[in-house]
Amino acid sequence: MNSNGPDDPARSGGQELSLRENHDAERILCAAQDLWRARDLQSILQIASRAARELTGADGASFVLREGELCHYAQEDAISSLWQGRRFPMSSCVSGWVMENRSPAVVDDIALDPRIPIDVYRPTFVRSMAMVPVHARAPLGALGSYWGTSRAITARELALLQALADGAALAMENLVLRDDAERAQARMSELEAASCELAERYQALTDGQRQSDALNELLAHDLRSPAAGIMLVARSRLRDPDIPEREQHRWSKVLCSAELIQRTAMNLLDTSSREMGALVPRLEEIDLAVLLEEVAEILEPHAASRRQRIELRPGAPGGCRIRADGDLLRRVLQNLVDNAIRHGPARSAVHVEARRRDARWVEVVVRDEGPGVPVHLRDHIFDRYARLGVQGAGLSAGRGLGLTFCKLAVEAHGGTIEVRDGEGRGSCFCVLLPG
């Protein structure tokens, strides 16, 4: 007869196991949180070593870092001294074997395992051990637990040790990303300061309409390189699936700002190139629907930051295929949508539509819900360096190059661009391209 009473040994043992599993889960979670908050490598090593000893009930634990062909016993938490601070060849210690084979090592009795350099272990209390790699793809190190008696290491103890090592690997990688982010932010501050200085110089020159093409190229090249570096770091950070929402929003704004700086620099170069006859489209078959979706994805964070949305009507699939320069046309559309976002009020929409007019022409329409462009300014809105801010009308002055570039690039394709009243309110930019 089976007993179901409170004193049943099987039931008592199951409760004890469940309590231990809950305790281990809580301890792993606490260790993971501590590791994520750690601000330096030494803190990570200390947290991981202490948690490894506690979770496995060991008499000691070590965190070993790989330094080329050496194993550096960088941190230990043990009942007596082991090898902290010492370095051994990879080929002469178990931690080296673990890193080279990217697999755990379980030693129930050090006297019976050929991987153990027994002369090194004899002065210590260690009689059995378990060691796991820290980062299996390209090991950064190894994490080990040691016991003073010969014993069989359980699968659960090994799993807990590996989970802790994986958490430490993520924390170490996070340190690298955090350093990259701090450098990127510092570089962004430098770039913003340089941009302000360049803007002042640029405005002084454009007020007198004396800007030369040589200076344009110099300024553009000075902006493009650091902006590209910031975009690379921002995209890398945003690919992290575990990035917090607040940090994701911040990095999205960094990416949008860097992309805008780079696009402005390219506009500057290409407007100069066109005036010298060098802006020649490289034609290939492209799908306008796909291009519009790419542009919307790039500018969506910018629109969201202004509490706006981008509404696409990309036309029938495959119905708007044309021969055009994809890079130039993408920047035309980015400039037009960015312009519409800047001129539209909060909680408004930017409407973007592609449609085939007939067998020869395809039209792209970008419409905002802002105050619109006054009729007397429409003849000048595409002029180079035109700054058409209107007091009280809600129009921002802009940078005076984006729309100029749009006109030059569209006309280089044999098309036209014009601005007219939107449907009800706002302005509507219409691009007509041969299709």
Question: Measured between alpha carbons, how far is 373 from 390 in angstroms, rounded to an integer?
Answer: 9
The mean pLDDT of 61-68, rounded to a whole number, is 94
Per the prediction, the chain carries an average pLDDT of: 81
**Angle, to 10 degrees, between the axis of helix 155-207 and the axis of helix 213-238?**
160
Say if residue 78's pLDDT is above 50. yes
Residue 366 has pLDDT above 90, yes or no: yes
Outline where DSSP puts E strands in 97-165. Answer: 105-107, 128-134, 141-147
Contact 142, 134 (CB under 8 A): yes
Q: Is the pTM of this model over 0.75?
A: no
CA 141/CA 147 separation, integer angstroms = 20
The pLDDT of 14-23, averaged and rounded, is 63
Q: What is the pLDDT of residue 363?
A: 93
Cβ atoms 58, 154 nearer than 8 A: no
210 pLDDT higher than 50: no
Four-residue CA torsion sign, 208, 209, 215, 218? positive
Helix (H, G, I), strand (E, B) or coil at 141: strand
Residue spans of the domains in the chain: they are 11-174, 211-275, 284-434
Instruction: Tell me the H-state helices in 142-287.
Output: 155-207, 213-238, 245-275
Cα–Cα nearest to 51, from 169, 175, 161: 161
11-174 to CATH, choices 3.40.630.10, 3.40.190.10, 3.30.450.40, 2.30.40.10: 3.30.450.40
CB of 415 closer than 8 Å to CB of 407: no
Could you tell me the pLDDT band of residue 393, with boundaries at 50, 70 and 90?
very low
Q: How do residues 327-354 score in pLDDT, each as one tens digit?
A: 889 989 998 998 899 888 999 999 999 9
**Which range is least confidently modeled, 356-360, 376-380, 397-401?**
397-401
Distance, C-alpha 255 to centroid of its chain:
9
pLDDT (tens digit per residue) in 397-422: 445 577 888 888 899 899 999 998 76
What is the share, in percent, of the chain residues with pLDDT greater than 90? Answer: 36
Closest C-alpha to 147, from 88, 93, 98, 78: 78
Please check the confidence at residue 7 and state whether its pLDDT lies above 60.
no
- Residues with Cβ within 8 Å of 340's Cβ and at least 6 positions away in sequence, in order, are 350, 366, 367, 368, 370, 427, 429
DSSP code per residue over 271-332 = HHHHHTT------EEEEHHHHHHHHHHHHHHHHHHTT-EEEEE--STTTTEEEE-HHHHHHH
- Cα separation, 347 vs 32, in Å, equals 40
Strand partners of residue 323: 285
Is the predicted pLDDT of residue 394 greater than 50, yes or no? Answer: no
pLDDT in tens, 119-165: 899 999 999 999 999 986 778 899 999 999 999 999 999 999 999 99
Distance CA 206, CA 214 (A): 14
Task: Encode pLDDT of 167-188 as tens digits.
Answer: 898 888 888 888 777 787 888 7
CATH entry, 284-434, from 3.30.565.10, 2.60.40.650, 2.40.128.130, 3.30.70.580: 3.30.565.10
